[in-house]
Amino acid sequence: MKDVIRRAVYEKYIAPTKAERPDYIGVEIEMPVVNLNGEAVDEQIAIQTAEAFSAHFGFEPEHRDAEGNFISAKHRETGDILSFDCSYSNLELSFGKATGLFEIKERFEKYVRFLNTEFAKQGYTLTGMGVNPAANINHNQPIKNERYRMLYHYLHSYPQHTGEVAMRFHARPDFGTFTSASQVQLDVRYDELTDTVNVFGLLEPYKALLFANSYLPDYPDFLCVRNMLWEHSMQGYNPHNIGMFAKPLADPDELVDYIGTQSIYCTMRDGKYVDFTPVTVDEYFSRSSITGEFFDGARYQTIEFAPQQSDLDYLRTFKFEDLTFRGTIEYRSTCCQPFSDALTVAAFHTGLKEKLPELKELLEHDTVIYTHGFSAAELQKLLSKRNLPAFLDEKAIETQLIRILDLAADGLRKRGHGEESLLAPLYRRAEQHTNPAKAMLDGIEKGTPVSEYIRQYAAI
């Protein structure tokens, strides 16, 4: 059975990287919905605004919740999707695959202008932050459908598992309802697969310095708390499901083996989501039965079921560099950015993809952060916090960030669309030793209210 599953893993994840196809860019941007009156978001206002958007732009409804409320709608020509992610205070724009960044930027700005014009009528706004600034005020309840009800239940099961794994669980299992990411998917070729995963893994600490934009008062040390919230939850029960790879991958076969050590924690039976204590892929398919729970419409019931090969479709991981069944790498570690800088994330990754050998050379010989005894994963955590470790030289980091940005700019120039101009905000951040979360906290300490940053980060 193990050989059968390994083959299935290979066909699902590795084989698509061998297919000849154009290079596309996929962008997903999640955005907090904020009530500017300082009160909890009224879900009906968010839903009505999404419905108005769909009618205005000709998006066709795709999914509704158990009460008939809007969850998502899609534009058939562009492939763009408007959806709520986890809760009705987190709105997501997913763009159909594109070849250029400016076409995505144009549609993003058009969509957000309309949405915020509608929200303003109710004293609301979307804003460009990685944590909803009203996270401790909003209801933070899941969308009423099978998937999000299951996820909410699963994340809240952590007290039952304390002591089973060498990890401290945080006390915010509702984090999925108030955290917002900016994610990009880029096609990856088989012969560059492991280099892409390894090299962009080494890049993660520097990305934390440039893009941190998720502050939660519960955890005041963090400028980028999103990743910690994922890692110290049930999503991180198996550390192979989240964050970074502990060591470089040697080849695609080693990645297939690694996927075998990742855990499945949910599947579907008879139209119902079932969640259970995470089980590695290898162990899952060696068992004759799994015991889990499902919601019968009134309460949770225990169920015992036999694994099926199709359950592999429910392997849900949250690696910073996540290989998908589309033959793409999804870059998942970056917070939602201020809207004026929204395409910096996609531009940064797209440019560096074009300069992979040069980026590899730069990072594998890095002496700025990689000569102090800390791994990339450890450094990523350290550099996600407000204060830099004393052993690091800020000026040297600035110089290295500029080198990295220069490579990204060269890669974008190679594409010939003028997209390198999208990196300008990142150069400013590198030179000023700041990022959106740090700029906001520094301003708050000087007396600027958070409401000003909500408005500022909502501006296009």
pLDDT tens string 392-431 = 999 999 999 999 999 999 999 999 999 999 999 999 999 9
Give per-residue pLDDT as tens, 275-290: 999 999 999 999 999 9
**Is the pLDDT reported for residue 1 higher than 80?**
no
pLDDT band at 326 (very low <50, low <70, confident <90, very high): very high
In tens, the pLDDT along 50-69 reads 999 999 999 999 999 999 99
- Which pLDDT belongs to residue 156? 98
| Cβ–Cβ under 8 Å, residues 354 and 411 | yes
Q: Residues 215-239: pLDDT tens digits?
A: 999 999 999 999 999 999 999 999 9
CATH fold of 21-143+156-262+318-458 reads Creatine Kinase; Chain A, domain 2 (3.30.590)
- Spatial separation of the C-alpha atoms in residues 459 and 27, rounded to whole Å: 19
Mean pLDDT across the chain, nearest whole number? 97
The predicted structure's pLDDT at residue 3: 86
CA-to-CA distance for 200 and 211, rounded, in angstroms? 15
pTM of the predicted protein model: 0.97
Residue 290 one-letter amino acid: I
- Parallel, antiparallel or unpaired: strands 272-280 and 263-269: antiparallel
Predicted local confidence at residue 2, as pLDDT: 80
CA 434 to chain centre: 21
In the three-class reduction of DSSP (H, G, I as helix; E, B as strand; rest coil), residue 131 is classed as strand
Of all residues in the chain, what percent carry a pLDDT higher than 70? 100
Task: Average the pLDDT over 159-176 and give the result.
Answer: 95
Quick one: CA dihedral 171, 174, 178, 184, positive or negative? positive
